[in-house]
Structures are given as structure tokens and as C-alpha cells.
Structure 1
Amino acid sequence: MKERIQQNFADSIATKQRAVEVLAEPIELAARRMTQAVIEGHKILSCGNGGSAGDAQHFSSEMLNRFERERRGLPAIALSTDTSTLTSIANDYSYDQVFARQVRALGTPGDLLLGISTSGRSPNVVEAVDAAHEQGMNAIVLSGRDGGTLRGRLAEGDIEICVPSEVTARIQEVHLLVIHCLCDLIDRQLFGDL
């Protein structure tokens, strides 16, 4: 078991080292875009399924409450938290629409969507990206593998942060680090260095 633990740590470290070379630039672009949206009075909507739903909520909580410093809350909404809304949309329409209908109701031009899918193939995240475009919003997409269906749905002004890995656990570990990078860079742009 100890060897397996060491291997998991080594694999995680190796994936992060590979990812930083590919992802540093799109993370920087995403952080600048998110900061500009907040400065202009816009909000960031986030969504995902399973562990990615947890990541969407993690991002939203770091924005709304605080990351590593005392500061005012920043406007963010995780679309995976309202079970009554999620289940009513899934029941009345389909699960593919649980985020898209919320984006259409809550999103306004200039807002951003943070869509998270380790495979890039989650139909409800793909639909949310399409809905964001309809609302005059851009999307920032966290994915993995080959970017999946999401890659083909990106529009001009969207940003893809695609982890170079085939392993879901490793992709999720990098997604969490990306979210922390985004929060750190947003705070530094808005409030300066600690």
C-alpha cells in the first residue's frame, strides 16, 4: 500500500509538472478575463458534475467569501447547489438542461461561465456553454484528455484550460490547482500582493 501511495503522489506531481508548461498561459488569460469581468460589475457562473460540481462550488466559495486574505466578496454563483432547481429542470426537461436553463435565467452579457468537465464531454456543461454564448457571455472551460465536445463548442473569446492527462483523478487534481491559481491571481490583480 505504501508503494501505491508513493506512486499516486509521483503521478500527481508528474502530471502537474507537464501541465504547467501547457496551462500557464491560458490560466493567466482566464484570470485576467475574470478580474476584468468583476471590475466591470459582472459575475462568474460555474458548473460541473460530481467532483467537477465540487470544484465549481469550491471556486464560488473562494470568490464569495475569501481566498487567502480578508476582502469583500466577489460575485460568483455555483449552478450545482440548488437541488430544487436542478431536479425540477431535470424532471421537466432533461438533465442536459440543468445548467443551461440557469445560465439563460441568471446570465447577462459580460458575465462569464466557468464550465468544468474532466472529459470535456458532459452534455449539460456543453449545453451551458451554448447557453452562455446565447446570453452574450464567454466561457472558460476546464477539461482534460483531448478537450472532448467542449473544445468544438468554444467561440471567439472563450478560454480552454485542458489538462494533458487521460486519468480522471489526475485531471481533477490539476483542476483544483488551476482554481487556486485563478483565485490567487484574481485577488492579486484586484487587491495587490499580500
Structure 2
Amino acid sequence: MATNKNIASYIEQVKSTLDNLSSESIDAMIEAFAKAYEAGGNIYTMGNGGSGASASHAAGDFLKGASYGLDRRFKMICLNDNLPSMMAIANDIGWEDIFVEPLKNFIGKDDLVIGISGSGNSANVVKALTYAKDNGVATIAMTGFKGGKIGQIADLHVHAPVMDMEVTEDIHMVIFNIVKKAMMERYLGDNPSMGSTYDSRVQ
């Protein structure tokens, strides 16, 4: 019985968090993606742990699913995917610099930098978003809990209003999938990606 209660409680928490999301902030995130894409800019994602997994998942979705069939493709880079560079930077400089150092190599004025942190206080994400903001590059913070530091730093704060890390991670992927679907509809129209074609075959 305890397990069943846990299941119901978790599902209810996800539902209530979805119900309380700001549709305006998601709309703004969609437009930020479109602006970077149309300007030919790069979109960077980053995070630690589960947030890093979400950052990597989203980048993969846009490199393939949202790009297949487009002449101009999304240029989305996950900063926590290059393990050797992260380890070298962490070892030689410091953990707080693992995201800001690659940004210094690549960042351009038309780019978009997305920092993902449940608490909003991950020091390496804070430092990277601060650098991007100081250099006039568009920034998005994706957070949970109370939003933390990056929620105050970024141009756009996309907040999962829940005091739970696992639910926060679930909500962040829902938001990324909404943005991906919006981009596919806007730029692919009746020409669906290979991902959508594959899904229809196997159902």
C-alpha cells in the first residue's frame, strides 16, 4: 500500500507542477530558440547530474529530431558532453570553470546559453551564465525549488515551481519537448523529422 501511495503522490506532484507552469515563459523560450536559430547562432546547454543528462538529451533531440529535413540545422551544443575537457578544466583550473571555459572558445553575439540547475545555485552554471550575460549573449535559466541565483541572472527564467529534484527534472524535459515540437511545427511543417516518421512506423 505504501508503494501505491508513493506512486499516486508523485504523479499528483508532477501534474500540479505542470498546471502551475508559466506558459508565458515557455512561449518566450520558444521565441529565444527561434531567434538564435534564424540568426545562425549556437544554442548551449549545461547542467550537473540529472540536469546534465537533460542538457545532453535536449541537445541530441535538436541535433537530430528537430533538424532532420532542414537545410539550416539547429546548432545545439551540450557543454557537459565533453568529458575529457571537463576533467582537464576541473583538475587544472577548478570545477566552477568547467562550463565557462568552453564558452570562451565558442560564444558569439547571436548565441543562446541555457543553464539548468534544480536549485539554481550550481556554481559552475552560475559562472557560465554570468559570463554570457556580461558579454551580451541571451541567457535562459531552467530551475526548480526557489529559482536560486541563475533565476535572477538570466534574461529568461523558466521555473518548475516544485520543491522536488526528480519532479523538476521531469518538468524540464517536458519543457524541452514542448520547445522542440514548436520548432518542428514552425520550420518543418508538413515535412516531419525522421524521428517522427520512425515513431509512426513502430506504433
- How high is the TM-score relative to the length of structure 2? 0.85
- 5+ residue gaps, structure 1: none
Equivalent of 2:69 in 68, 71, 77: 71
- How high is the TM-score relative to the length of structure 1? 0.89
**What is the root-mean-square deviation in Å for CA atoms of aligned residues?**
1.9
Task: Report if aligned partners of 1:60, 1:77 keep a CA contact under 8 Å in 2.
Answer: yes
Matched, 1:34 2:42: no
SS in 1 for 2:36: helix
The letter of the residue matching 1:76 is M
Please give the residue correspondences for 1:87-98 in structure 2 after superposition, counting only pairs within 5 Å.
87-98=87-98
| Residue of structure 2 equivalent to 1:49 | 48
The letter of the residue matching 1:55 is S
Task: Report if aligned partners of 2:113, 2:138 keep a CA contact under 8 Å in 1.
Answer: yes
The Cα of 1:34 is off from its aligned counterpart by 0.6
Task: Report if aligned partners of 1:64, 1:76 keep a CA contact under 8 Å in 2.
Answer: yes
- Mapped partners of 1:49, 1:99: distance in 2: 10
Please give the residue correspondences for 1:1-194 in structure 2 after superposition, counting only pairs within 5 Å.
3-5=2-4, 7-67=6-66, 70-72=68-70, 73-154=73-154, 158-192=155-189
Residue by residue over 1:36-86, the C-alpha shift from the partner in whole angstroms, topping out at 9 and shown as x without a partner, is 21011111010000011110011100111115x842341100000111110
SS in 1 for 2:40: coil
- Mapped partners of 2:15, 2:105: distance in 1: 36
The Cα of 1:6 is off from its aligned counterpart by 5.3
Q: Percent identity?
A: 23
- Mapped partners of 1:40, 1:56: distance in 2: 22
The Cα of 1:19 is off from its aligned counterpart by 3.4
The Cα of 1:133 is off from its aligned counterpart by 1.6
In terms of Rg, which structure is larger?
2
- 5+ residue gaps, structure 2: 193-203
Distance 1:22 1:104, change over 3 A: same
